[in-house]
Amino acid sequence: MNTETEQHTYNRKIIVGLLLAGAFIAILNQTLLVTALPHIMSDLNIDATKGQWLTTAFMLTNGILIPVTAFLIEKFSSRALVITAMSIFAAGTVVGAIAPNFPVLLTARIIQAAGAGIMMPLMQTIFLTIFPVEKRGSAMGMVGLVIAFAPAIGPTLSGWIVDSFTWRYLFYIILPIALIDLVLVIILMKNVTKLRETSVDILSIILSSLGFGGLLYGFSSAGSDGWGSQTVVTSFIIGAIALLFFIIRQMKIERPILEFRVFQSWTFSITTFLSMLVFALMIGTETILPLYTQNARSVTAFDSGLMLLPGAIAMGIMSPIIGRIFDKIGGKGLAIIGFATLLLTTIPFADLKIDTSLTFIVVIYTLRMIGTSMIMMPLTTAGINALPNHLIPHGTAMNNTMRQIGGSIGTAVLISVMSSSAKNASTSSPINAMIHGMNSAFIVAAVLALIGFILSFTLKKKPQKQEQPAR
């Protein structure tokens, strides 16, 4: 298929709208069940360890499937893939709404995540295909809006729904949006990506699943089981060995499912690492702050989610603006200011007290999300702009995979630091010990933000337009 001739047969705005709607509800589901977990645990008679898997399994499935998406994009048309991804997601949503017990609900989450895992890198690849390089910053700004806004409003929406209805409405509300988007995709979606002659390498998919799945499972379990537990250590060993063999195999076979040669580009490598850092800081903060407000300050689940909303709105407003700024000046200056903002807004969180002003927390968190918007999508776009066109699907798949791992690692590290520090706190008050643990976690977060700030100075000033072939 020739993309050049195809460009006259599709409406770019329609494709952007369809993909943004699909990706929004797919990513929203990452955090949608967080606030509802106590209700689900009570209703299905499960403990917190089991309940946590409703979120962890979603992220795990995403991490396993994303590397395979680069292969799928080359093998199947973009229209067929979008239809398939939305159909799988909708099917999982139906199963979740009617789930009679925990195993069925967990299965529903895995089915949902399978659709979402295909949707996200597919959307990025299509955007980078239909927009010229000088407009990619603006296009990826819209992606940034979805990535930031959807998970941030998840806890707020979830808190409101479970307070007003039952947790099943979390699926009932998503389902009609998914079905409407699916019908519109079937009617309006056009093919925009090039197909290549490629065959599936089953061994690569198995090694990829064991490698990324093992590492993600290890990091996800470390927060609750401890870093030295047999489960965590075994997961790390299996994941690391499988990933090593996976990388070796990808470097040898003619058509790898994930192209590790993208890391030969310094710009792509450093921007991907910085994207992992910022996503880890974002997800970690969104996990710890509600724990502080609900457990230490007795704020309701809905109000805890509501406290994160101004930050989500600010990031949503800023993402398209930052995208346009990136198109003009590149990502270096934005990343430096963004990481400086993250560092300066982490320091107050490292000194939380039992009577810290909740308004102060909302203001600092909102500033923090503005800083995040300056980093996430601009750096992703700068990294992918540094790749030749044939590596873009592999670049987006790799970037998404690394970001999921970053979020998983970041949350696990910060929760682990928080838990161990709280246990060892020299105070008789459980609440004071908990807050001490949270402060320790934010000290580690500040160190990560400082590393990002320092590394930002190594970025190049301008996006590398010259590496892209003329359109």
- pLDDT given at position 65: 79
Q: Binning pLDDT at 50, 70 and 90, where does residue 452 land?
A: very high
C-alpha span between 47 and 60 (Å, rounded): 20
- pLDDT given at position 237: 95
Residue, of 265 and 159, whose pLDDT is higher: 265
Indicate the burial class of 162 (C-beta count within 10 angstroms; 0-12, 13-18, 19 or more).
buried
Cβ neighbors of 122 (< 8 A, separation 6 or more) are: 19, 69, 72, 73, 78, 81, 82, 85
Tokens representing 246? 């996976």
- Min mean pLDDT across 88-92, 260-264, 366-370, 467-471 is at 467-471
- Min mean pLDDT across 232-241, 277-286, 363-372 is at 277-286
Indicate the burial class of 49 (C-beta count within 10 angstroms; 0-12, 13-18, 19 or more).
exposed
Residue, of 409 and 173, whose pLDDT is higher: 173
SS3 content of the chain, % helix, strand, coil (to 5): 80, 0, 20
DSSP tag of 294: I
Q: Compute the half-sphere exposure of residue 6: CA atoms within 13 Å on the CB side of its CA.
A: 17
Q: Binning pLDDT at 50, 70 and 90, where does residue 444 land?
A: very high
pLDDT at 292 over 60: yes
Q: Which CATH topology does 10-191 take?
A: Growth Hormone; Chain: A; (1.20.1250)
pLDDT at 307 over 90: no
C-alpha span between 146 and 469 (Å, rounded): 29
Q: For the domain 261-461, what is the CATH superfamily, name and number?
A: MFS general substrate transporter like domains (1.20.1250.20)
**pTM: predicted TM-score of the whole model, two decimal places:** 0.76
Q: What digits encode the pLDDT tens for the residues 243-280?
A: 999 999 988 887 777 788 899 889 999 999 999 999 88
Residue, of 8 and 19, whose pLDDT is higher: 19
